[in-house]
Amino acid sequence: MEKELKWRRLNGEPLGDELLASVEKVIKREFALGNRLKVCIGSDSQVKGGTVEYATVIVFLREKKGGFMFVSSESKTHNISLKERMITEVARSVQVAYSLCDLLDKYSIELEVHADINTDPEFPSNVALKEAMGYIKGMGFIFKAKPNAFASSCCADKMV
């Protein structure tokens, strides 16, 4: 990823600050309200003609009180294999997780990285499961795949 991702709220409003500053504001606000947080990061993509549309989300889960998310979207014109597209999704999520991990550690917030990859070998996305799991776990993050990867398979999926 050559350039920094542009982030917005679900309603389309830009964050206004850099990502780290925005996330820290959210953490401080939620802690002041007495909420415990967990963060899940996931990406999804869809091929539309000769373009691949990607979406990455940061989902903030409030313990027993719902959640909200930040979104980043991008389109690229290129023809890549399904496996390469799955690994690109994972790379996008890992990049974001890596940029936030020190901040989340500072506040003792659990972080998961979700991959939109099916654990059932009957599904085409399974072709990238081993590599994705190794990449995410190798970076020290908690790995979740379908059907437990809601950040990628539900949240990011709705954004592409």
At 36-72, the pLDDT tens digits run 999 999 999 999 888 999 999 999 999 999 999 999 9
Is residue 74 one of the residues assigned to a domain? yes
Say how many C-beta atoms besides its own lie within 10 A of residue 67's C-beta: 16
Q: In what order do the strands lie in the sheet with 110-118?
A: 8-9, 67-77, 51-62, 37-48, 110-118, 142-146
Domain count, the chain: 1
Q: Is residue 63 part of a domain?
A: yes
Whole-model pTM above 0.85?
Answer: yes
Report yes or no on 55 lying in a domain: yes
Per the structure, the complete domain to which residue 42 belongs is given by 8-158
Model pLDDT for residues 75-120, shown as the tens digit of each residue: 998 788 999 999 999 999 999 999 999 999 999 999 999 999 999 9
CA distance 29 to 62: 12
Please check whether residue 2 lies inside any domain of the structure: no
In a domain, 32, yes or no: yes
1 domain residue, yes or no: no
